[in-house]
Amino acid sequence: MVNFNNLKKLDKDDLLHLVGLETRRDTVDTLLPVVGAFAAGILVGAGLGLLLAPKPGNQLRDDLRQRLHSGQEYLSNAVGRSSEGAAQTGPQGSVSRTA
Specify if 99 maps to a domain. Answer: no
SS3 per-residue string spanning the chain: CCCHHHHHHCCHHHHHHHHCCCCCCCHHHHHHHHHHHHHHHHHHHHHHHHHCCCCCHHHHHHHHHHHHHHHHHHHHHHHHHHHHHHHHECCCCCECCCC
Q: Which amino acid is at 13?
A: D
Question: Does pTM surpass 0.85?
Answer: no
Residues spanned by the domain of 41:
4-73
Q: Is 56 left (phi over 0), alpha (psi -120 to 50) or beta?
A: beta
Total domains in the chain come to 1
**pLDDT, tens only, 9-59:** 788 888 888 888 887 778 888 898 999 999 999 999 988 887 787 888 788
Specify if 11 maps to a domain. Answer: yes
Specify if 91 maps to a domain. Answer: no
- Checking if the pLDDT of 90 tops 80, the result is no
Specify if 50 maps to a domain. Answer: yes
Specify if 97 maps to a domain. Answer: no
Specify if 83 maps to a domain. Answer: no
Specify if 28 maps to a domain. Answer: yes
Specify if 42 maps to a domain. Answer: yes
